[in-house]
Amino acid sequence: MEKRTLGNSGLKISAIAYGNWLTHGSQVEEEAATACVRQALEEGITTFDTADTYANTAAESVLGRALAGERREGLEIFTKVFWPTGPGGHNDHGLSRKHIFESIDGSLRRLGTDYVDLYQAHRYDHETPLEETMLAFADVVRAGKALYIGVSEWRAEEIRAAHELARELRVPLISNQPQYSMLWRVIEEEVVPTSRALGLSQIVWSPIAQGVLTGKYLPGQAPPMGSRATDEKGGADMVKRWLDDDVLERVQRLRPIAEDAGLSLAQLAVAWVLQNDNVAAAIIGASRPEQVTENVKAAGIRLEPAVMAAIDDVLDAVVTTDPGKTVSPRRSELFG
pLDDT in tens, 253-284: 999 999 999 999 999 999 999 999 999 999 99
- Mean pLDDT to the nearest integer, 139-148: 98
> Which of 97, 117, 114, 96 shows the shortest CA–CA distance to 105?
114
Residue 25 has pLDDT above 60, yes or no: no
Q: How confident is the model at residue 134 (pLDDT cuts 50, 70, 90)?
A: very high
- Mean per-residue pLDDT for 310-318? 95
Q: Which pLDDT score, from 0 to 100, does residue 118 have?
A: 98
Dihedral over Cα of 69, 18, 11, 80: its sign: negative
Please answer whether residues 217 and 223 qualify as being in contact, where contact means their C-beta atoms are separated by less than 8 angstroms.
yes
Q: Catalytic site residue 124?
A: no
Q: pLDDT at residue 234 above 80?
A: no
> Which residue segments constitute the domains of the chain, with CATH numbers given?
11-335 (3.20.20.100)
Check: CB of residue 286 under 8 Å from CB of residue 38: no
Per-residue pLDDT at 230: 46
Bigger pLDDT: 111 vs 57? 111
Mean predicted lDDT score pLDDT of the chain:
90
Q: Which residues contact 26 (CB under 8 A, 6 or more apart)?
A: 54, 55, 58, 59, 233, 234
Q: Residue 260 has what pLDDT?
A: 94
Please list, in sequence order, all residues whose beta carbon lies within 8 angstroms of the beta carbon of residue 136, skipping any fewer than 6 positions away.
Answer: 95, 96, 97, 100, 101
pLDDT reading at 336 higher than 90? no
Q: Which of the following is catalytic: 54, 119, 124, 180?
A: 54
Query: In the chain, which ranges are E strands?
Result: 3-5, 12-14, 16-19, 47-49, 76-81, 116-121, 146-151, 173-176, 201-204, 279-284
235 falls in which pLDDT band (50, 70, 90)?
low
Encode pLDDT of 168-196 as tens digits: 999 999 999 999 999 999 999 999 999 99
Residue 148 reports pLDDT greater than 80 = yes
Q: How confident is the model at residue 233 (pLDDT cuts 50, 70, 90)?
A: low
Tell me: pLDDT of 203 over 60: yes
Tens-place pLDDT, residues 219-232: 777 666 555 544 56
Q: Residue 17 forms beta bridges with which residues?
A: 283
**What percentage of the chain reaches a pLDDT higher than 90?**
75
Q: What is the pLDDT of residue 31?
A: 84
Band of residue 69 on the pLDDT scale cut at 50, 70, 90 = very high
CB 65 within 8 A of CB 37: no
Residue 116's pLDDT band (boundaries 50, 70, 90)?
very high
Residue 21 confidence class, pLDDT cut points 50, 70, 90: confident
| pTM: predicted TM-score of the whole model, two decimal places | 0.90
Q: Alpha-carbon distance 84 to 103, whole Å? A: 10
Largest CA distance in the chain: 55
Distance CA 206, CA 14 (A): 16
**Residue that wins the pLDDT comparison between 242 and 301:** 301
Over 70: is that where the pLDDT of 238 sits? no
Q: Is the model's pLDDT at 24 over the cut of 60?
A: no
- pLDDT band with cut points at 50, 70 and 90 for residue 237: low
